[in-house]
């Protein structure tokens, strides 16, 4: 651990101790662990393993090595896997899913802060059978484009039962919901299809907007998403809120996200950008782009 990391840890530990030893300020969140590995200092995506019990997968933001990391539910690094044949242009989210009896991870290379990318990439990997340092090559990759020009996207989820990938724009107001086919396009470039817009995104107060306009602009931006294992609930993370959109019966996602969600304040996470349901679907894990990074467990109330 570098001197800078040690200093950050010293500053963060009293705060985490307060969270762990006192009644949580939010009834649906509790501290689960702390990610201290020097390899994980900009976590931008989180997903529960469908193959290994009590294991989470994580990725770093753009500019870092194109690696997948396995960590425990307490945040301890278990293994790392270099990916072959691809780059980390701007990795922003991670999803796990099961398809035809096989367990997969989807890495979303969809970030575009400057709004200049001509296309985006989504890479699908089969989960490794053993948690030992190694290398992985994508089972397939999807090159896609937006229908009407570039946009930043940090929130991606997989609806394997419907054979689709869900993507949520970050900065548009209200956020837009798009879909892409999950299947291997075999080299073709596919176009994302807009299917809805998210309602009920909490906004900052007018007082905070006047006091800190920069933070106010970021508050409602969407930074992560994940679909519950039973396919009923889409969890969405912004810098300020955790939201749960539930669909009724056989309802599609356009109708579900058009209704106001169950909303909670984000726990004590600096730059909250990673969210993933637990393997059983009872709750979610969330963390952010800090080092060390607190790992929170969230339980929806609905």
The pLDDT tens digits of the residues spanning 39-84 come to 999 999 999 999 999 999 999 999 999 999 999 999 999 999 999 9
Instruction: Compare 283 and 27 and report the one with higher pLDDT.
Output: 283
pLDDT over 70 percentage in the chain = 91
Mean pLDDT of 28-32: 93
Q: What is the pTM of this model?
A: 0.90
Could you give the CA distance from residue 217 to residue 111 in angstroms, rounded to a whole number? 18
Task: Please report the pLDDT score of residue 3 as a whole number.
Answer: 37
In this model, does residue 28 exceed pLDDT 90? no
Q: For residue 69, count other CB atoms closer than 10 A to its CB.
A: 21
In 174-292, which ranges are E strands? 176-181, 189-191, 193-197, 222-227, 233-238, 241-246, 262-265, 272-277, 284-288
Instruction: Give mean pLDDT, residues 28-49.
Output: 96
Q: What is the mean pLDDT of the chain?
A: 91
- Structural domains in the chain, CATH included, are 39-198+269-297 (2.120.10.30)
The residues pairing with 94 across neighbouring beta strands, listed in sequence order, are 107
């Amino acid at each position: 651990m570098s001197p800078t990391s040690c200093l950050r840890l010293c500053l963060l530990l009293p705060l985490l101790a307060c969270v762990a030893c006192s009644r949580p300020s939010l009834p649906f969140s509790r501290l689960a662990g702390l990610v201290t590995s020097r390899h994980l200092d900009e976590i931008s995506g989180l997903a529960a393993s469908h193959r290994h019990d009590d294991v989470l997968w994580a990725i770093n933001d753009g500019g870092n090595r194109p690696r997948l990391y396995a960590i425990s539910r307490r945040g301890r690094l278990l293994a790392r896997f270099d990916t072959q044949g691809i780059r980390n242009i701007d990795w922003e989210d991670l999803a796990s899913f099961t398809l035809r009896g096989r367990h997969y991870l989807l890495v979303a290379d969809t970030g575009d802060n400057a709004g200049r990318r001509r296309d985006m990439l989504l890479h699908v990997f089969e989960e490794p059978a053993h948690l030992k340092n190694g290398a992985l090559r994508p089972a397939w990759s999807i090159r896609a484009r937006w229908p009407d020009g570039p946009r930043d996207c940090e929130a991606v989820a997989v609806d394997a039962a419907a054979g689709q990938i869900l993507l949520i724009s970050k900065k548009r107001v209200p956020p837009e919901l798009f879909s892409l086919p999950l299947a291997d396009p075999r080299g073709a470039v596919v176009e994302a299809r807009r299917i809805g817009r998210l309602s009920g995104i909490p906004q900052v107060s007018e007082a905070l907007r006047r006091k800190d306009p920069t933070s106010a602009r970021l508050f409602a931006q969407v930074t992560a998403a994940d679909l519950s294992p039973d396919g009923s609930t889409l969890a969405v993370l912004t810098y300020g809120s955790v939201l749960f959109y539930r669909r009724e019966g056989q309802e599609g996602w356009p109708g579900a996200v058009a209704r106001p969600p169950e909303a909670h304040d984000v726990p004590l996470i600096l730059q909250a950008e990673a969210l993933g349901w637990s393997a059983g679907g009872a709750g979610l894990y969330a963390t952010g782009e800090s080092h060390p990074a607190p790992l929170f467990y969230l339980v929806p109330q609905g």
